[in-house]
Amino acid sequence: MSPAVATRVVLAVDLGGTTMKGVVVDETGREVADLERPTPTAGVVEALGDLLGELGSVARGQGLTPVGAAVVSPGSVDEGQGVVRYASNLGWRDVPLRDLLEPAVGLPIAVAHDVRTAGLAEWRFGAARGSDDVVLVPIGTGVAAAVVSAGGLVTGATGTAGEFGHIPVVPDGEPCACGQRGCLEVYASGAGVARRYAARTGSVATAREVVARLGSDPDADEVWAEAVTVLARGLAILTLLLDPSVIVLGGGFSHAGEALLVPLGAELRDGLAWRAPPEVAVSRLGDRAGRVGAAVLAFEAAGLGDLVTAWPTS
């Protein structure tokens, strides 16, 4: 059987501090295979090359033709040059990932920032579809933001735009691991809520467990209320500076549902005295957003970006 047009695929990897999640995506946007590997403590570039090689083999074994690839990374990424400028979790500084991987893999490879790429996906296929001014805020262990303005991703002069988790929102507040004080994610993140609950009660609980105790545990109520207040203040700042039509919340925090959205919406309205708040929505693509966005970038790297316009929204 000769490969038909519909057999073109891309290889997309979401590189995290603990796991590398790879998928093979066909030109209709369907994930046709996936592989997951632990991120090694050393030799990450080689491991990435190996994973991309394995994904390519899996694809070819199914009669599919890889045409491009993409790797999305945390940290500070220069998308134009394909260089990871800085990634603390990986111990990377100025790693020319694209130039290192392309010869090994033999495909055009896009390198991009994980959160911005997730924002791209949420904007093209998810909860922010149809709007040209969007902020995606994934809230997990930490907090970041992907900003879309007038239909373009805001990356900044050094590729570090969107460090929403580290904006100072509590003057002289609690210390952050980053070296600053009063950062948003000290209060309003999975790790922040868990740490603050433990500091207050002496008992260990995840943010999800704290949410489950709301209404029956005054300490949980208090820590959560402070998280919501700080997050609302941060969203008010985003709104006033960037005027998005929709803010999309993602990550584990967004699974809190009404316990988050109801008080957050009320506090955001109160914090914006003279303008209406933007819509606040929950991510539709969830954890898949980074990989979906990476697949888009991979098709674009292959010169086949047009195919992506026909992908279904989910």
Residue 52 sits at φ, ψ, to 5 deg, of -65, -40
What's the CA gap between 112 and 84, in Å, rounded?
8
What's the CA gap between 278 and 297, in Å, rounded?
28
Among 32, 35, 154, 259, contact with a second copy (rule: CB under 8 A) = 154
- With a CB cutoff of 8 Å and minimum separation 6, the contacts of 45 are 95, 97, 100, 101
Residue 161 or 304 having the CB closest to a second copy: 161
Q: Binders of a second copy among 118-137, rule CB under 8 A?
A: 131-133
Helix (H) or strand (E) holding 310: none
Full DSSP string of 184-199: HHHHSSHHHHHHHHHH
Instruction: Provide, rounded to whole angstroms, the least separation between the CB of residue 98 and a second copy.
Output: 19
Does 161 interact with a second copy (rule: CB under 8 A)? yes
Does 93 interact with a second copy (rule: CB under 8 A)? no
Residue 140 or 182 having the CB closest to a second copy: 182
The amino acid at residue 158 is T
Instruction: Provide, rounded to whole angstroms, the least separation between the CB of residue 247 and a second copy.
Output: 11
Alpha-carbon distances, residue 68 vs 22, 57, 151, 300, 303 (angstroms): 13, 13, 24, 8, 9
Residue 179 or 312 having the CB closest to a second copy: 179
Site stretch for a second copy (CB under 8 A), options 36-44, 153-161, 188-196, 197-205: 153-161
Among 147, 223, 227, 248, contact with a second copy (rule: CB under 8 A) = 147
Does 170 interact with a second copy (rule: CB under 8 A)? yes
Site stretch for a second copy (CB under 8 A), options 2-10, 119-127, 178-186, 291-299: 178-186
| Residues forming beta bridges with residue 20, ordered by sequence position | 15, 37
Alpha-carbon distances, residue 276 vs 106, 229, 232, 245, 270 (angstroms): 50, 18, 14, 10, 10
Among 145, 186, 264, 280, contact with a second copy (rule: CB under 8 A) = 145
What's the CA gap between 55 and 65, in Å, rounded?
11
Total residues in contact with a second copy, by rule CB under 8 A: 44
Distance between terminal CA atoms of the chain? 32
Residue 160 or 201 having the CB closest to a second copy: 160
Instruction: Provide, rounded to whole angstroms, the least separation between the CB of residue 229 and a second copy.
Output: 8
x/- site string to a second copy, residues 213 to 242, per CB under 8 A?
--------------------x--xxx-xxx
Among 271, 282, 304, 305, contact with a second copy (rule: CB under 8 A) = 271
Residue 117 or 155 having the CB closest to a second copy: 155
